[in-house]
Amino acid sequence: MAQFEKVSQKSKVHPKPEGLTLQYGTAGFRTHATHLDHIMFRMGLLATLRSKKTKSTIGVMVTASHNPEEDNGVKLIDPMGEMVTVVWEGYATQLANAEQDSLLKELKDIIKKEDIDMSEPASVYIGKDTRPSSVSLSQAVLDGVSSLGGKTHDYGLVTTPQLHYMVCCCNTNGCYGSPTIEGYYQKLSQAFLQLTQNALNRTDDQKRLLVDGANGIGALKMREMEPFLRSELQVVLSNDGSSGKLNHMCGADYVKVQQKAPQGMNMGVGERCCSFDGDADRIVYYYTDSKGCFHLLDGDKIATLISTYLKELLTQAELNLQIAVVQTAYANGSSTRYLEDVMKVTVCCTKTGVKHLHHAAQEYDIGVYFEANGHGTVLFSKAAQKQIQELMKDPNTNDERKRAVKLLESTINLINQTVGDAISDMLVIEAVLAIRGMSAQDWDAIYTDLPNRQLKVTVSDRRVIDTTDAERRAVSPKGLQDTIDMLVKKYKSARSFVRPSGTEDVVRVYAEADTQESADSLAHEVSLAVYRLAGGIGDEPKPLH
């Protein structure tokens, strides 16, 4: 078939290094950029098949998010803007690892298994982040799509959530919005301006927000969006990519893991600051107090702020909708306790990786999901959205209820429901703080985080660690969980767990306890246990102090 002839020819331009195997992990393929050319070409092929199968537009995003600039990666986006299904993740790995001479065989195998009608048209949207390697790598994706006769739309430089949004807009025939960058800015800014009308007497200081763009795509897009916000938000942008290196000593991951401010940010006492990650799908907030102490407002604090606000609006609107917060094992224990005991909202815990949180959140009328690292969004079920719209139109709705319903409606429009979105989340947070007249300090005071520490341990094969109970307990290697249990008992209000990372070749260790010293010490002791019981390599983990 001529179709496969072209694939065969073109694949020679994007050859697979012999013996190299990679896995479609938590966030797609991710590794050093020099190993990815063949993967990109093949993901172009797979996206084309997925498009033919679903009779919809599929997205392919070239990015390695918060990872170093030298890395890159690729993720596939399904028709409604969600992550690709697990079965197709398997096909991605199968196709990626096929040696050069068996590529066509594997491709045909997927076509057969999925019973794909190859005469169907295909459409693939492509986006990339600002990494230098993204230019040629996204070209390899385009080559893959065109060699199977698919149509492409190259959005060029976009944030990951912007591409998710475009895919969803396209496949809902514009119901979700218009699939252009301008359409995205217009939809979000209109909703933001509507919401901030409800915040009275805001001073310029209150409208001011310091944004760390991680020297990445989020900074570029924030610049583009600023005029749409008509000074209702006065952004002071740092790490805008003009001089620094992507994610280096800056960005959401650096701030969250190091628990300190990024370089290059001039923070005044109490000033609201936030950091995006390298592809702008994560955000964390922070400020320093008058004593120079750094305070982090992470994904857990964001989930708490947003769910409290939504719950209040539901009460005011007299709407009986179930709201739940979805977290992972990394959620700070204090946040879970506050949400369950004080807020009385349902809290559910899933495995790490937004696809797990996203699916769990779909089970509720309103599902607020956030990873502690600041990746998250809010999902409103179709039924919930319908109820809100109907109440809006109902002539019997009194003014107070109407105000609450209107706020809910604008909030829905402001949220990017396809995936976590730093820009959209930032605007939601800014609007909520403005409407409720809260400062960063007021927000921080909702509950106090338990001191915590995250560490990494390198082992020869991280797959020896198997976990259960939403990754909170290790079932292998033998003796590891018993040791962790024993260590945890030594500290007050303590908790610890370990899991193999899905994006790096390391085992992650998390610990929390009543003091920072205890959290650090517990994290260290658990790291040692991992090193000794799970085949640690390199130097033994050293104490933090």
The secondary element (H helix, E strand) that includes residue 2 is helix 2-11
Task: Assess 503 for contact with ligand NG1 (CB under 6 A).
Answer: yes
Within 406-525, strands assigned E span 452-457, 466-468, 473-476, 495-500, 507-512
Task: Assess 27 for contact with ligand NG1 (CB under 6 A).
Answer: yes
Q: Which of 68, 183, 333, 502 binds ligand NG1 (CB under 6 A)?
A: 502
Scanning 74-82, 286-294, 310-318, 367-375 for contacts with ligand NG1 by CB under 6 A, the matching segment is 367-375
- Give min distance, CB of 503 to ligand NG1, in A: 3
Q: Among residues 112 and 463, whose Cβ is nearest to ligand NG1? A: 463
For CA atoms 424, 427, 432, 433, the dihedral sign is: positive
Residue 298 binds which entry of ligand NG1, Zn ion, none, CB below 5-8 Å type-dependent: none
For CA atoms 503, 507, 512, 517, the dihedral sign is: negative
Angle ∠(209,212,217) on CA atoms, nearest 5: 120
> φ and ψ at 467, to 5 degrees?
-125, 165
Q: Which of 11, 31, 57, 65 binds ligand NG1 (CB under 6 A)?
A: 65
3-state secondary structure 328-376: ECCCCHHHHHHHHHHCCCEEEEECCCHHHHHHHHCCCCEEEEECCCCCE
Task: Assess 508 for contact with ligand NG1 (CB under 6 A).
Answer: yes
Task: Assess 68 for contact with ligand NG1 (CB under 6 A).
Answer: no
Our answer to whether residue 493 is catalytic in this structure is no
State the Cα–Cα distance between residues 437 and 131, nearest whole angstrom: 39
Q: Interface residues for Zn ion in 309-348 (CB under 5 A)?
A: none
Scanning 151-159, 369-377, 410-418, 525-533 for contacts with ligand NG1 by CB under 6 A, the matching segment is 369-377
The secondary element (H helix, E strand) that includes residue 171 is helix 160-171
DSSP character at residue 234: E
State the Cα–Cα distance between residues 545 and 529, nearest whole angstrom: 18
Task: Assess 371 for contact with ligand NG1 (CB under 6 A).
Answer: yes
Decide: helix, strand or coil at residue 484: helix
Distance set, CA 56 to CA 34, 77, 173, 291, 416 (Å): 31, 11, 11, 55, 20
Scanning 228-236, 368-376, 488-496, 511-519 for contacts with ligand NG1 by CB under 6 A, the matching segment is 368-376
Q: Which of 69, 129, 143, 279 binds Zn ion (CB under 5 A)?
A: 279
Cβ contact 362:379 at 8 Å: yes
Binding mask 141-170 for ligand NG1 (x = CB under 6 A): ------------------------------
Q: Which of 23, 172, 186, 501 binds ligand NG1 (CB under 6 A)?
A: 501
State the Cα–Cα distance between residues 361 and 347, nearest whole angstrom: 10
Scanning 93-101, 165-173, 199-207, 496-504 for contacts with ligand NG1 by CB under 6 A, the matching segment is 496-504
Q: Which of 143, 277, 430, 471 binds Zn ion (CB under 5 A)?
A: 277
Task: Assess 281 for contact with Zn ion (CB under 5 A).
Answer: yes
Distance set, CA 157 to CA 82, 280, 490 (Å): 20, 12, 50
Residue of 65, 307, 334, 518 marked catalytic? 65
Task: Assess 504 for contact with ligand NG1 (CB under 6 A).
Answer: yes
Q: Among residues 252 and 345, whose Cβ is nearest to ligand NG1? A: 252
The count of chain residues that interact with Zn ion, using the rule CB under 5 A, is 4
- Give min distance, CB of 53 to ligand NG1, in A: 25
DSSP character at residue 226: G
State the Cα–Cα distance between residues 208 and 221, nearest whole angstrom: 18
Task: Assess 253 for contact with Zn ion (CB under 5 A).
Answer: no
Cβ contact 374:283 at 8 Å: yes
Residue 277 binds which entry of Zn ion, ligand NG1, none, CB below 5-8 Å type-dependent: Zn ion
Q: Residue 231: left (phi > 0), alpha (psi -120 to 50), or beta?
A: left
State the Cα–Cα distance between residues 186 and 173, nearest whole angstrom: 17
Task: Assess 65 for contact with Zn ion (CB under 5 A).
Answer: yes
Q: Which of 332, 373, 521, 527 binds ligand NG1 (CB under 6 A)?
A: 373
Binding residues: 65, 277, 279, 281, 371-373, 499-503, 508
Binding residues for substrate: 371-373, 499-503, 508
Binding residues for Mg(2+): 65, 277, 279, 281
**Active site positions, annotated:** 65
**For binding to Zn ion (CB under 5 A), which residues are involved?**
65, 277, 279, 281
**For binding to ligand NG1 (CB under 6 A), which residues are involved?**
26-27, 65, 330, 352-353, 371, 373, 375, 501-504, 508
